[in-house]
Amino acid sequence: MSPAEQQQVTVFAPATVANVACGYDVLGFAINEPGDFVVVRHSDKPGLRITAITGDDGKLPTDPSKNTAGVSALDLLHHLGMTDRGIEMEIHKRMPFGSGLGSSAASAVAGAYAVNKLIGEPLSKKQLLPFAMQGEASADGAWHADNVGPCLLGGIIFIRDNEELDVAELPVPDNLWAAVVHPDIEILTRVAREILAKDIPLRNATQQIGNLGGLLCGLIQSDYAMIGRSIHDVIAEPRRQKLIPDFYKAKRAAMAAGALGFSISGAGPSVFALCEGEENAHQVGEAIAKVFSAIPLNNQMHISPINRQGVRVVDKVPVIA
Ligand code: HSE
């Protein structure tokens, strides 16, 4: 072990909202909670081993080559020529699968980031992006950085090109908050991608580009009204809303409560609203949650400013009450 290396590292990788309405596959932001934890430590036995997984109801494989956190860590170790390093990994899932909150991205980011820290941080956070992407792609079979990017780097991330992983961190207006509500159903990202139209009318493309540009301008200029006018998705939302019970009711409730805009978080079923200020975010979150509860559908609400830090080292994995 070199002096820069750690004995053991625990990391937390936050949930993310991908697409942000008008930025299908090219825009995403991180929130403070929930998120996944990964613990890594050195071992005398060569190779990466996953020694424990909690919070997954037994669904996740412990074979590192089949596990998102394992794949991203292995890919990093392979790149560094260190696959024979003895490393033990524990994964503590603290967010639901198929939730639209970037669950697999969080594990993938946590795996690569934790191992990088353990071995003395040879790569920067941004350099870890392709390795975390491999982990995420192993889970949903697609290659989009709109969850992995913000989970790793924090803030609001724009991806000019997913193949090249050409990403930019956007400015975050000080008082921008998110209300995210997860109704207790599961939507497979693969299914939510398959129901999208393969071709889109020129009119829709023009509208979507206008709104995406408008949202970026609104963020850069801290122009909340412009942000609000831009949060519209004419490509994915009209098709995916069918998968989410009372989606339009929830949208009307959020807008009536003063949200700047409302749409589906990633592939759903979670929905999100962007709001000006914490108080309004609580009001909007309650209004959305009330719609799902009335169905009745259990749901969890997360009120958060934009998380600017992304994945980070923490002292320990908190015990679930
Ligand atoms: N941009 C992706 C999608 C996010 O909407 O399919 C999935 O997590």
The Cα 301–Cα 194 span in angstroms is 28
**Cis ω on the peptide bond leading into residue 130 (within 30° of 0)?**
no
Give 37's strand partners: 12, 92
Pick the atom of ligand 1 nearest to 196's CA.
6
pLDDT score recorded for residue 140: 80
Q: Clarify whether residues 203 and 266 are in a common domain.
A: yes
Per-residue pLDDT at 4: 77
CA within 13 Å, CB half, 257: 27
Whether 146 contacts 25, CB under 8 Å = yes
pLDDT at 27: 98
Q: What's the CA-to-centroid distance between 278 and ligand 1, angstroms?
A: 26
Q: What is the DSSP letter of 82?
A: -
Same domain, 158 and 183: no
Residue 162 shares a structural domain with residue 181? no
CA of 264 to the centre of ligand 1 (A): 10
- Are 134 and 236 members of one domain? no
The Cα-based distances of 176 to 154, 173, 218 in angstroms read 14, 6, 11
Give the integer Cα–Cα distance in Å for 43 and 39: 13
Residue 222 domain flag: yes
Number of domains into which the chain is organized: 2
As a whole number of angstroms, the distance between CA 71 and CA 211 comes to: 36
Residue type, 144: H
User: CB of 58 within 8 A of CB of 93?
Assistant: no
At 141 the pLDDT is 84
- Measured CA to CA, the distance from residue 288 to residue 301 in angstroms comes to 9
Comparing CA positions, the residue from 10, 6, 85, 93 lying closest to residue 57 is: 93
Domain CATH code at residue 115: 3.30.230.10
Q: Are 127 and 15 part of one and the same domain?
A: yes
Pairwise CA distance, residues 277 & 99, whole Å: 25
Instruction: Identify the CATH number of the domain in which residue 255 sits.
Output: 3.30.70.890
Pocket test for ligand 1, best of 97, 99, 143, 147 (most atoms within 8 A of CB): 147
What is the atom index within ligand 1 of the atom nearest the CA of 267? 5
Compute the distance from residue 239 Cα to the ligand 1 centre, in Å. Answer: 13
Ligand 1 surroundings by CB, under 6 angstroms: 18-19, 24-25, 144, 146-147, 189, 192-193, 236, 266-267
Instruction: Kindly report the backbone phi and psi dihedral angles of residue 78, in degrees, each rounded to the nearest multiple of 5, phi listed first.
Output: -65, -45
| H runs (alpha helix) in the chain | 68-79, 103-118, 129-140, 148-153, 189-194, 202-220, 224-230, 237-240, 247-256, 278-294
Structure token pair of residue 7: 């004995």
Beta bridge partner(s), residue 18? 28
Same domain, 158 and 220: no
Contact yes or no for 262/250 (Cβ under 8 A): yes
Atom of ligand 1 nearest to the CA of 240: 5
Nearest CA to ligand 1 atom 6: 267
| 203 and 155 co-located in one domain | no
Three-state secondary-structure class, residue 170: strand
* Per-residue pLDDT, 183: 98
In a domain? residue 318: no
CA dist 61 to 8, 38, 56, 57, 264, Å?
Answer: 22, 15, 10, 11, 29
Of all atoms in ligand 1, which is nearest to the CA of residue 264?
A: 5
Separation in Å, CA 273 to CA 11, 14, 261, 286: 27, 18, 6, 11
Q: Classify burial at 115, counting beta carbons within 10 Å of its beta carbon; exposed 0-12, middle 13-18, buried 19 or more.
A: buried
Q: What tens-digit pLDDT sequence spans the chain (321 residues)?
A: 777 778 999 999 999 999 999 999 999 999 999 999 999 999 999 999 999 999 999 999 999 999 999 999 999 999 999 999 999 999 999 999 899 999 999 999 999 999 999 999 999 999 999 999 999 999 888 899 999 999 999 999 999 999 999 999 999 999 999 999 999 999 999 999 999 999 999 999 999 999 999 999 999 999 999 999 999 999 999 999 999 999 999 999 999 999 999 999 999 999 999 999 999 999 999 999 999 999 999 999 999 999 999 999 999 999 887
Q: Do residues 129 and 183 both lie within one domain?
A: no
Maximum separation of any 2 CA atoms in the chain, in Å: 60
Tokens of 184: 């207790």
* Ligand 1 geometric centre to CA of 81 (Å): 32
Distance 41 CA to ligand 1 centre (A): 32
Assigned token pair, 177 = 């908050």
**Is 160 in the same domain as 34?**
yes
In a domain, 183, yes or no: yes
Domain range spanning residue 274?
Answer: 176-305
Residue 110 has phi, psi (to 5 degrees) of -60, -40
